[in-house]
């Protein structure tokens, strides 16, 4: 199984990098895990809606260029479907059972994802209505993917 994150922007904070590296190491026994970073667009504080749409469109094109046709895509979106850790674990297990071995998660930039990216996604997932920095979301998502594997293995990790 291949798990890939396609994310906007570089991870600068050392503590996020360390946390993600730890979960990536743990995930290596379950899957091939990778993170593909696409450059973010410069986005000044005050932009018109047209400028915001332009920034999102540029980032969206970069995201879509990193997704292959056969990949099952989760788009992280506030309005996506919330799942419990157990539901998420079952979903990942079911996907692999039914032939989806390439699973991709997309985390947009600070302005979110374009309709084109959301349309390409097979499903949208939400981690609640909180707004979280996309760098932190990367760490949270990595841990939840690891947790899903541990739940499916019957490990006590999920207590």
- Is residue 131 over pLDDT 90? no
Does residue 52 sit within a domain? Answer: no
Q: Which structural domain range is residue 11 located in?
A: 2-42+57-152
- Residue 121: give its domain's CATH number: 3.40.1280.10
Q: Supply the pLDDT for residue 14.
A: 96
Q: What is the pLDDT of residues 135-155, one digit of tens each?
A: 999 999 999 999 999 999 999
154 is in an annotated binding site: no
- DSSP states along 12-77: --HHHHHHHHHHHHHHTTT-EEEEEEEPPPP--SS--HHHHHHHHHHHHHHHHTT--TT-EEEEEE
Does residue 51 sit within a domain? Answer: no
Does residue 93 sit within a domain? Answer: yes
Instruction: In whole angstroms, give the CA distance from residue 60 to residue 109.
Output: 9
In this prediction, residue 130 has a pLDDT band, given cuts at 50, 70 and 90, of: confident
Q: Supply the pLDDT for residue 45.
A: 83
Do 134 and 20 meet the contact criterion of CB atoms below 8 Å apart? Answer: no
Q: What is the pLDDT of residues 26-65, one digit of tens each?
A: 999 999 999 999 999 988 888 999 999 999 999 999 999 9
Does residue 19 sit within a domain? Answer: yes
Q: What is the pLDDT of residues 113-127, one digit of tens each?
A: 999 999 999 999 999
109 is in an annotated binding site: no
Query: N- to C-terminal Cα distance for the chain?
Result: 25
Does residue 110 sit within a domain? Answer: yes
How many CA atoms are closer than 13 Å to the CA of 99, on its beta-carbon side? Answer: 1
Q: Supply the pLDDT for residue 141.
A: 98
If one compares 133 and 117, the residue with the highest pLDDT of the two is 117
């Amino acid at each position: 199984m291949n798990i890939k994150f396609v994310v906007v922007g570089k991870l600068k904070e050392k503590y996020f990098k360390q946390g993600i590296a730890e979960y990536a190491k743990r995930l290596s026994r379950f899957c091939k895990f990778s993170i593909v970073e696409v450059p973010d667009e410069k986005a000044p504080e005050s932009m018109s809606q047209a400028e915001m749409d332009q920034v999102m469109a540029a980032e969206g094109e970069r995201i879509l260029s990193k997704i292959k046709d056969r990949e099952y895509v989760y788009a992280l979106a506030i309005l996506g479907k919330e799942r419990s850790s157990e539901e998420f674990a079952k979903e990942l297990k079911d996907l692999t059972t039914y032939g989806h071995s390439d699973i991709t998660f997309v985390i947009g930039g600070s302005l979110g994802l374009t309709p084109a990216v959301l349309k390409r996604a097979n499903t949208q997932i939400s981690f609640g209505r909180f707004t979280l920095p996309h760098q932190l979301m990367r760490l949270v998502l990595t841990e939840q993917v690891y947790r899903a594997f541990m739940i499916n293995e019957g490990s006590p990790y999920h207590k």
